[in-house]
Amino acid sequence: MWIPYAVVGALLQAVSAAIKKKSLKKAGMNNVIGFISFLIAGILFGVTYGLTMGTFWPAELSARFWEGMTANVALNIVGIWFMYRALDSAEFNYLMPFMTLTSLTIILPPIFLLGEIPSVTSLLGIILVVVGALVMNYVSKKKVFSEAEAQQRKDNLKGALYFIATAICFTFTPTTAKIAIQESSVLFTSFMAHILISFGFLAMLLIFREGQRMKAMLGQEESRPFLYGLLLAGVVIAVENGSINLALDIAPVAYVMALKRLMPLFAFLIGYFYFKERTHLLRKSIATALMVAGTMVITIFK
């Protein structure tokens, strides 16, 4: 029963990232995008929770709930901020496979900090992910780049570095979310997390004095497509994270995350058909397949 939820979550994660990349073409709007899209998602979760339970606040919340929620929100804000910077820079179907690096951050710390030796299957998974990353970045020494190609390659590498920071943060968010879910419910956890994430972006919006820019943007008629994109992003985020949280409520974190790592395959198709990213297709497809296979092996058999 949980498998369709996890697959839908993976698909919609790719879709929401694509919507954000499209929206980020409007310069200086990262915090605005985060605030509005997560606020919309939070309101949708809140309304659903209120209609279902007849109240917007449960009778009692444990300290453990707030520990999980605080960690989850903080990690999401940092991870999403880095993801927006990455989407600003890199090609979509180049960038998304690097989300599989979350699997390495699950298994590498125990190796170096605790001396734990991974299983043979985990080592195979690590090799597949690393080889996939190398294939993604392989360039023949004989290759001569045009100025535009050289700049895009530089932007891709910069985006990948940002995305590694995102991947590290997103390694821990499923576990922190599950802690909060176990202490309350899927709907209330989703409601609170999205509202608090939106408040985090609102704080950054105010700190960096972007409020005037947002106000001016909201008053412009030509900004309507941008606003419609944010509304759509909010709905997609709500369904995406709601699906994943439902899956986490039913199944072990490792199994859910393994299926969620199908996301780069969906992102590859979106990059090809929507963003028309059709350079180095064979290399990108092989690299994506290797990295997805590797992370599924690590996640399931670690």
To the question of pTM greater than 0.85 for the whole model, the response is no
d(CA 10, CA 244): 8
194 touches 238 (CB < 8 A): yes
pLDDT tens column, 232-263: 989 999 999 889 888 888 888 777 877 887 88
**CA distances in angstroms from 125 to 110, 135, 173, listed in the order given:** 16, 15, 21
Name the nearest CA neighbour of 261 among 225, 295, 220: 295
Tokens at residue 9, please? 């979550």
Name the nearest CA neighbour of 285 among 94, 71, 152: 94
pLDDT tens column, 132-188: 877 886 655 556 567 877 888 888 889 889 988 998 888 888 888 889 988 999 899
DSSP-derived secondary structure letter, 208? T
